[in-house]
Amino acid sequence: MNTATVSTSTPLNAAGAGAVPRSRFDAAPLLLVAVLAALALPMVGSVPTWLTLTVAGLAMGMIVFIIASGLTLVFGLMDVLNFGHGVFIALGAFVATSVLGSMAGWTSADSLLLNLGAVFLAMLVAMSVAGAVGFAFERIVVRPVYGHHLKQILITMGGMIIGEEIIKLIWGPQQIPLALPEALRGSLVLGDTAFEKYRLLAVALGLLVLAAMLYVLNSTKIGLLVRAGVQDREMVESLGYRIRRLFVGVFVVGSALAGLGGVMWGLYQQMVVPQIGAQVNVLLFIVIIIGGLGSTFGCFVGAVLVGLMANYTGFLFPKIALFSNIGLMVLILLWRPQGLYPVTNR
């Protein structure tokens, strides 16, 4: 997680950076990703197919990472695991159905620019709605139960039930199709390899979010405070920073990211059901358990691993594809019981 150095303008910090040895970056989990991809190549047997599968896996991993990053950050910072995180995903996806549904002119137009515009607008609206609801959720539901793990699990589970019902109230209980705009359908053929256009977009967006997150976390003062808060909350508070306010911000951003991920997941599946939250929850938990609870970079590696694994096994052994994630989780926990990148202070 601490790959980049913290560069602030104060000379004191610059001097201090030399004094404190940087912890060595642990590359073994990244190697695991490479090993998994390399192992899959001879089993798949054809390079173009393997490339297609890898891109699909990366796309899925990126979407899951976007959804899970907020969850794991909140856990790391405030020791709150939000079992209701899935509601924001569903919310984002359903908002997207409404926005895209009302913009038929843009989505059916034969112009990539207008199509992308519609999708980005839907994402923007979904993120704002999910962020706003996340703000209310934190105030009303989560705030009274800090420090009580059992109550947190129960309350956020209750929040998920209520959220799912409200979504059914607004959009109805049936599944809603969420079609991709014209220009994003189909695949791009390069040589022998076909890449689905939307998956390429998802990978690009995921890399963008990852880069933005790493930048904010590692190179800005807010990121410094968040990371410090994850390490030692009391210390940061006693230095005069209001970690509470910071946390609300993280929660809102996390919810907004879940909303964004919801839009992407909905477009990936091409349809949305109110139960999507509960379905994705399982995947999210697997990802953050694999990555190490509270670790952002671990969450990224975990998501990519899960995405690749799901796509490779889905192609090679469709029968066991649904258990591959659980199997992966068990194997990784046997190797590293605290996850790939354990947050050391817990």
Q: Which residues contact another protein by CB under 8 A?
A: 75, 81, 83, 141, 144-145, 147-155, 157-159, 161-162, 165-166, 168-169, 173, 278, 281-282, 285-286, 288-289, 293, 319, 322-323, 325-326, 329, 337, 346
Whichever of 165 and 232 has its CB closer to another protein, that residue is 165
Q: How far is CA 227 from the centre of its chain?
A: 18
- What's the closest the beta carbon of residue 181 comes to another protein, in angstroms? 32
- What's the closest the beta carbon of residue 134 comes to another protein, in angstroms? 17
Whichever of 93 and 286 has its CB closer to another protein, that residue is 286
Reference 127, options 267, 272, 257, 284; nearest CA is 257
- What's the closest the beta carbon of residue 286 comes to another protein, in angstroms? 5
Whichever of 45 and 144 has its CB closer to another protein, that residue is 144
Whichever of 168 and 197 has its CB closer to another protein, that residue is 168
- What's the closest the beta carbon of residue 221 comes to another protein, in angstroms? 30
Whichever of 171 and 315 has its CB closer to another protein, that residue is 171
Whichever of 154 and 211 has its CB closer to another protein, that residue is 154
Reduced to 3 states (helix: H, G, I; strand: E, B; else coil), residue 244 is helix
- What's the closest the beta carbon of residue 195 comes to another protein, in angstroms? 29
Q: Are 302 and 333 in contact (CB under 8 A)?
A: no
For every residue of the chain, which 3-state class applies, written as one string? Answer: CCCCCCCCCCHHHHHHHHHCCCCCCCCHHHHHHHHHHHHHHHHHCCHHHHHHHHHHHHHHHHHHHHHHHHHHHHHHHHCCCCCCHHHHHHHHHHHHHHHHHHCHHHHCCCCHHHHHHHHHHHHHHHHHHHHHHHHHHHHHHHHHHCCCHHHHHHHHHHHHHHHHHHHHHHHCCCCEECCCCHHHCCEEEECCEEEEHHHHHHHHHHHHHHHHHHHHHHHCHHHHHHHHHHHCHHHHHHCCCCHHHHHHHHHHHHHHHHHHHHHHHHHHHCEECCCHHHHHHHHHHHHHHHHCCCCHHHHHHHHHHHHHHHHHHHHHCHHHHHHHHHHHHHHHHHHCCCCCCCCCCC
Whichever of 165 and 192 has its CB closer to another protein, that residue is 165
d(CA 284, CA 299): 9
- What's the closest the beta carbon of residue 89 comes to another protein, in angstroms? 16
- What's the closest the beta carbon of residue 346 comes to another protein, in angstroms? 8
Token pair for residue 9? Answer: 């303008």
- What's the closest the beta carbon of residue 111 comes to another protein, in angstroms? 39
Whichever of 80 and 267 has its CB closer to another protein, that residue is 80
- What's the closest the beta carbon of residue 72 comes to another protein, in angstroms? 11
Whichever of 115 and 152 has its CB closer to another protein, that residue is 152
Q: Where are the beta strands (DSSP E) in the chain?
A: 176-177, 187-190, 193-196, 271-272
